[in-house]
């Protein structure tokens, strides 16, 4: 059976996620922006925590952890490269490592760019990847520590996953990301349709996260740097995709 995925809104625009295996009862929390909503959801569902998976060190992904662990002792897993600034880890992992939750393998992907040592967790049997602030719905994270080529490599790694993969990213930035996307990919009919759907979803105060990788590949300009229409629109026809990505990221930073 695939893991049951629960999306938990936190803070003003963050998301945490629960991944629950009904057979074993194992439940993993992915990121801990704040404790209150997460503890409330665990109580509502009647679940305990077996694991906490941390994607990166930023406060809005880890600050809720101490209060959560007080009520739900769990194995805390995060990147070895980020261990010096993460909360104390029970297990340090690197790119290419794997471990199990409820008998399902969890694959670790280094997706540095937003930060150095940022990781994603891919659960192939459940067709889900937890990307936090690397690949985001209609966007990607700002390059606070890494370089544009680094982030492009990370996005290529994620875009190589199966199209039906559910992308669980860390923030509700989708509507503003969509407005920007129209400025670099205005002729994309799939994008135009998605923008209308996003506006409707947000008007109903519903989350736009998770999305699917197929949808991101069709509409997210940060994954589409090799698209000739985008290259032409930017006046960079034939340029290397990594350079196109860097231009798109720079434009988004100024948007």
Residues at the annotated binding site for Zn(2+)? 56, 58, 60-61, 114, 133, 171
Report helix, strand or coil for 154.
Answer: helix
CB 174 within 8 A of CB 147: no
SS3 content of the chain, % helix, strand, coil (to 5): 40, 25, 35
Cα–Cα distance for residue pair 38/43, rounded to 1 Å? 9
Backbone angles phi, psi at 228, to 5 degrees: -60, -35
Tell me, what DSSP letter sits at residue 195? H
Sequence ranges of the binding site: 56, 58, 60-61, 114, 133, 171
DSSP of 85-134: GSSPPSEEE-TT-EEEETTEEEEEEE-TTSSTT-EEEEEGGGTEEEEETS
Backbone angles phi, psi at 167, to 5 degrees: -100, 110
Cα–Cα distance for residue pair 158/155, rounded to 1 Å? 5
Cα–Cα distance for residue pair 23/68, rounded to 1 Å? 23
């Amino acid at each position: 059976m695939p893991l049951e995925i629960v999306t938990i809104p936190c803070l003003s625009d963050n998301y945490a996620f629960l991944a629950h295996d009904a057979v074993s009862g194992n439940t993993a929390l992915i990121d801990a922006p704040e404790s209150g909503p997460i503890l409330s959801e665990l109580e509502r569902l009647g679940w305990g925590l077996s694991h906490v998976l941390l994607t990166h060190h930023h406060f809005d992904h880890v600050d809720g952890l101490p209060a959560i662990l007080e009520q739900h002792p769990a194995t805390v897993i995060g990147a070895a490269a980020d261990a010096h600034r993460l909360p104390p880890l029970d297990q340090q992992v690197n790119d290419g490592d794997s471990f199990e939750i409820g008998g399902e393998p969890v694959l670790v992907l280094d997706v540095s760019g937003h930060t150095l040592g940022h990781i994603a967790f891919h659960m192939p049997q459940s067709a889900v990847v937890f990307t936090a602030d690397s690949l985001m719905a209609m966007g990607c994270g700002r390059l606070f520590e890494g370089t544009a080529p680094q982030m492009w490599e990370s996005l290529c790694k994620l875009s190589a996953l199966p199209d039906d993969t559910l992308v669980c990213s860390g923030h509700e930035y989708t509507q503003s990301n969509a407005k920007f996307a129209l400025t670099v990919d205005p002729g994309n009919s799939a994008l135009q349709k998605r923008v209308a759907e996003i506006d409707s979803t947000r008007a109903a105060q519903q989350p736009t996260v998770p999305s699917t990788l197929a949808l991101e590949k069709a509409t997210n300009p940060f994954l589409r740097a090799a698209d000739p229409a985008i290259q032409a629109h930017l006046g960079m026809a034939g340029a290397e995709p990594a350079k196109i990505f860097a231009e798109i990221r720079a434009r988004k930073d100024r948007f």
